Structure 1
Amino acid sequence: MRMRATVAALTGALALSALVVPAAQADDPSYRQAAAEAFAAHHGASSAASTSARSYGITAAAEGTMDVSFSNFKIAKAVKVGTTNHVSTTVTYKLTHGTDVDIHAADFATGPYIYKGAFDTPANMLFGVYAATCADTSATTATCTGDIDVYPYDGELFNSDAGTWKGAALALDYTTGDYADQGSLGSTLVQRYSKLTVNASPEPVKKGKTLTVTGKLSRANWEDNKYHGYTGQSVQLQYRKKSSSTYTTVKTVKTSSTGTLKTTVKASADGYYRFSFAGTSTTPAVKAAGDYVDVK
């Protein structure tokens, strides 16, 4: 089941966003839905979200008493999200629990999630579609592995969401409504996927003549599911000789208001030209494939 797991601060409360359910899975129980609704109920969400949470036996009065804690949260440094493709990143963490908690019971579930903003009032959250799997390391500890799933085409992200997110994990009991969660376990960058092109012309060119090198730096727009130029960014023009495997930087060029790049160089020898972008906190680094130029 897919859902937009966005929660937003609204008059001091959290409002759970609308559920998106593919027809083929409409009757399946959803860990993702239960996890988001449990969080909403526990953190003082709107009455509608709390009512939905109660359908899983989760009530505000019952929550927060589960003897479970989390540590050793490990996630990729960056999660790069485009405009259409489902993105999944794996998280591992340590779960420590009391002897009265059966983490292998059918009504127990745990999973990682990431959130943007404050833990109690996040601007957005992303969960995994399925609960994590856990392997015991002792009578009261386990190593758990779960995914964070992102469906950009379903409107799960706004452009303003790009940047640093924090890691968290939760556990819940579907029968009793018991619940535990913990934030600030780690961090990752959720970034707008980037693209970079290059073209050097004319080809072929006489030695010593001027080459014009053009290209474009663009990145995913999560609000219209298209790619738009990334303006005002410094991009390096790099060159490597045909006989070499190493690129060297020729000059630095800034993108225009539409993300385009244009500069000139003197042709010296057969070789490849490319643009290279170092990246920002919101947009990953990217290199264009080298464009070969035959110099006569």
Structure 2
Amino acid sequence: MTLRKQRRLSRAATVLTAAGTALASTLLMAPGAHAADSDITFSNVVINKGKPIVLGTGAQIEVPLTYTVKTNVKLDDWWVSAYRGTLDGSEKVLAIGTIQWSCRQSTAGGYTFYDCDESLQVDPDLLVGGDKLVNSDATVWKTTGTAIKVGGGYDTDLLSYTTRLKRASVIESADASPEPVAKGKPITIKGTLKRANWNTHRYDLYGGQKVVLQFKAAGTTAWTYVKTVTTSTTGALKTTVTAAKDGTWRWYYAGNSITGAKATTGDYVDVR
């Protein structure tokens, strides 16, 4: 049996509307004050397929979430939340809503199991409670699982699963020239590396970063390593190579613990 809804609004918002701020804070923000019940457990939590969540400066994204709920009591609702801070009502809760909610229901050993597939709505400019992301939020976020019982009562578990949030990077003005070029002559490849600044809602120049120059020969599908170039203090990239054959040049930035990876689409150069 599958439980399915095409669009499900934020559980936090639903609780806020239905029960008022005080109750919502108790349910969502202070699980440490409520011991986990043995009759309801959350497991198999995976956010964004185990990869970091990379966010820019304004565009809302959808992030896949899967998990399992095990219960021997009837439930009215349940959800998994990612949070940062201390669970005392001051923490940040990441997603503003859930869409494409689908849970496969099964039973075994007196328990009901819900294997859920969801898609979280994540927006850097709007978190639960009206918070916004700032640069220090590019770090590890913890998770909780909350279940609302039919007839009243709830259970919130502190989960061991974590997810990492990263600031998006972009490489602008990627260009290889001249085009076309004579064989054996130099090709100059330029670019500019920038990184999302959640404090100011813009992309800032990102200096001192190692970026890889890659080449894909015409008629092939694989990118090959050429050299590593470090961005200047203004994020600028510039290097020269010798023209040998037709193909496409691109920059690839692998990112770091707080910054997402980025590759340019590539610039084709005809060698004659």
TM-score for both structures, normalised by structure 1: 0.71
Gap change, CA 1:91 and 1:246, over 3 Å in 2: closer
Gap change, CA 1:220 and 1:50, over 3 Å in 2: same
Match of 2:40 in 1: 68
For residue 69 of structure 2, the aligned residue among 86, 89, 95 is: 95
What is the deviation of 1:215? Answer: 0.6
Equivalent residues in 2 for 1:143-292, closer than 5 Å? 143-154=115-126, 156-173=132-149, 176=152, 178-197=153-172, 198-292=174-268
What is the deviation of 1:211? Answer: 1.8
What is the deviation of 1:275? Answer: 0.7
Q: Percent identity over the alignment?
A: 35
User: Where do 5+ consecutive residues of structure 1 fail to align?
Assistant: 1-28, 38-47
Gap change, CA 1:102 and 1:239, over 3 Å in 2: same
- Counterpart CA distance in 1 for 2:142 and 2:235 is 30
How many residue pairs get aligned? The number is 251
For residue 52 of structure 2, the aligned residue among 78, 101, 104 is: 78
3-state SS of paired residue (1:268): coil
3-state SS of paired residue (1:207): coil
Matched, 1:137 2:113: no
For residue 116 of structure 1, the aligned residue among 84, 87, 91 is: 84
3-state SS of paired residue (2:136): helix
3-state SS of paired residue (2:156): strand
Q: Is the 8 A contact 1:236 1:252 kept in 2?
A: yes
Matched, 1:31 2:11: yes
What is the deviation of 1:70? Answer: 1.1
Opposite residue 74 of structure 1, the aligned amino acid is: V
What is the deviation of 1:234? Answer: 0.6
3-state SS of paired residue (1:33): helix
Equivalent residues in 2 for 1:36-47, closer than 5 Å? none
Gap change, CA 1:180 and 1:248, over 3 Å in 2: same
What is the deviation of 1:84? Answer: 1.9
3-state SS of paired residue (1:152): coil
Gap change, CA 1:65 and 1:227, over 3 Å in 2: closer
- Counterpart CA distance in 2 for 1:125 and 1:246 is 40
Bigger proportion of residues as strand: 2
TM-score for both structures, normalised by structure 2: 0.77
What is the deviation of 1:117? Answer: 4.8
CA displacement 1:265-285 (0-9 Å, x = unmatched): 122222211111122222222
- Counterpart CA distance in 1 for 2:98 and 2:203 is 30
Match of 2:94 in 1: 126
Deviates more, 1:189-198 or 1:233-242: 189-198
CA displacement 1:98-153 (0-9 Å, x = unmatched): 3xx212xxxx2211111235666885321452496544321523223334321223
